[in-house]
Chain A
Amino acid sequence: MIEAKGVSLRYADGTLALNNIFLQVDPGELVYITGPSGSGKTSLLKLLMGMEYPSEGTLHVLNQAISKSALLEIRALRRTIGPVFQDFNLIYGRSSLENVMLGMRVLGIHPSQMKNDAKSALVTVGLEHKIFSLVENLSWGERQRVAIARTIARRPKLILADEPTGNLDKDNALKILSLLASFRNKNTSVIITTHATHLIDQKQSFRCIQLNKGSISQDKRECYIN
């Protein structure tokens, strides 16, 4: 599903964000990427989403090479990925339903199916009573749920969540991480970056990768965080 061989990422200002990353993620894995601020978690996710390109090494996501020469293919790749961001990336002035449907519009789904799937995704994340509410009238936790509903309604093969609990209180953060982890199945991998390791749901097995100064300092398949 993901294969990185000797990947480095250097930004235009010379900052080395990632250094010589070797990584393989298989279908159905739940991966937490942890590490302090500036360790390269977000940079790694940006690479996986094709928002940045490796300065060195090769990176394949869902069999698609991430490189500057494959812009159109990367757009197509993004349609199979479900992104979740710390700041939600929702469209204000629109309802929860419209936001979820917006994520599906780029897939060419029939309008009636799109509406049904969007509604059931909102039901899945527990927002059945806020389907027609404008997103700016929702709490932070609810907004993140809308963002997750937008992601799962697209039935992605890969869910990439970048610090999805960054703006949430502890209770909401726990719920969101647990919700995201629950979407892992044999076809869908879930990768979550977080520095809040104490919030990770320990009940199910997961893989944890620790980044430090742009390099992988730890990679455990069966991880338990104390």
Chain B
Amino acid sequence: MLYKLKLIVYNIDYFIKEVGTSIRLNFLPSVFSFISIGLIFFIFAMITSGWWISRYVIQVIQEEVEINVYYHEGLDEGEVRQLTERINDIQGVREARIIDEQEAYNRMVAILGKEAHVLEVFDDNPFTSFIEVNVDLEKTGPVLDELHLISGIEHIRDNKEVLRQLQNVVKILSFIGYLGIAAVSISTLIITANIIKLGIYARKDQINSLRLLGASESFIAFPFLLEGMVVAFAGGILAMILMVSIINFIYMQISGTLPFIPLLTPNSLILRLVTLIACLSIAFGFLGSLIGLSSAKKV
């Protein structure tokens, strides 16, 4: 064990130099591998970010499951209060409260942010008052059934349909995400294994000399494992650079036009993606090198 540790520590400069030599000997294939891995990881990052964003959106919406109850305009203040109390008594309702016209208007101003000036086209407040009902997600159905039985209610707006559609989108994106992970894994493994095999064949004389001098297979393999990780990680970095630029660009484009969609902040999305790509590229580079080494063992 001490001998093996000494071998790695004392020869670390040699191993690093060997990685450089191997990349130099197979320069073009190495560059192509690096670019291919980079593009594969970039596509993967895009699919994953879509997947994560949609999952985040649905999570936020689920946390804020609300039913808006619009009552008949003819109801007076006391009747509206009675109606609210009655709704509050329904099992599954967390809270029901009256949102008057002004509050409804103010909320829309907050949501629209810089775009709130569009509301200035209206002479009068276009919003009506309503009862906002906060419910347990699982009890949305029974609560809606109860609400339909209460008189004085003109219209009920729930976001069940939106949620259902979003859940479907997330399911599809999850499936594509898993497919993406599988595709990225296989492609990276194949590319890395091939570049390592090329490196091994290019240096088969050196490998045989090392074997005759008593080098262990792990000593011989170590630079190739490093090389696989370096090439794959370099590809990962390329993907990160592309990804950061594209995500920043997309966020800049949609931040003004889709203010009401709860998106992950670009920094948190980028940080998560960078961590994922860094780990995956190193891991797949290592595994690909192992495959390359095992398939070229007879050299």
Interface residues, chain A, with chain B CB atoms under 8 Å away: 49, 51, 72, 75-81, 83, 89-91, 93, 102-103, 105-111, 114, 154
Q: What is the CA–CA distance of A103 and B210 in the complex, to the nearest angstrom?
A: 7
A-B contact pairs, 11 of them (CB 8 A): A77-B214, A80-B214, A83-B213, A89-B212, A90-B209, A91-B205, A105-B7, A106-B210, A106-B213, A111-B10, A111-B13
Q: Closest B-chain residue to A109, C-beta based? A: B10
Q: Which residues of A contact B219 (CB under 8 A)?
A: 105-106
B168 interface contact, C-beta 8 A = no
Q: Complex: how many Å from CA A71 to CA B206?
A: 20
CB pair B213–A91 under 8 Å, yes or no, is: no
Q: Would B205 and A81 count as touching, CB distance under 8 A?
A: no
Question: Which residues from chain A contact B210 at a C-beta distance below 8 Å?
Answer: 102, 106
Do A106 and B212 touch across chains, with their CB atoms under 8 A apart?
no
- Tell me which residues across on chain B come within 8 A of A105, comparing CB atoms: 7, 10-11, 14, 215, 219
Fill in one digit per residue for B1-35: 1 if any A CB lies within 8 Å of its CB, else 0. Answer: 00100110011011000000100000000000000
CB distance from A144 to the nearest CB of B (A): 15
Q: Give the interface SS of chain B, mostly helix, strand, loop or mixed.
A: helix
Most central of A72, A103, A154 by chain B CB within 10 Å: A103
Given known contacts A78-B214, A81-B214, A106-B216, is B209 in contact with A89 (CB within 8 Å)? yes
Is the CB–CB distance between A114 and B216 below 8 Å? Answer: no
Chain B residues in 8 Å Cβ range of A75: 211, 214-216
Beyond the given pairs A89-B208, A91-B209, A108-B7, 14 more chain A to chain B contacts, judged by CB atoms under 8 angstroms and listed by A's residue number, are A75-B214, A75-B216, A78-B212, A78-B214, A80-B214, A102-B213, A105-B11, A105-B14, A106-B215, A106-B219, A109-B10, A110-B10, A114-B10, A154-B213
**Interchain CB contact (< 8 A) of A49 among B3, B209, B212:** B212
Contact residues in B for A72 (Cβ distance below 8 Å): 216
The verdict on A108 contacting B216 (CB below 8 Å), with A91-B206, A114-B10 known, is no
Q: A103 touches which one: B21, B213, B216 (CB < 8 A)? A: B213
Instruction: Give the distance in Å from the alpha carbon of A78 to the alpha carbon of B3 in the complex.
Output: 15
Residue of A nearest to B11 (CB): A105
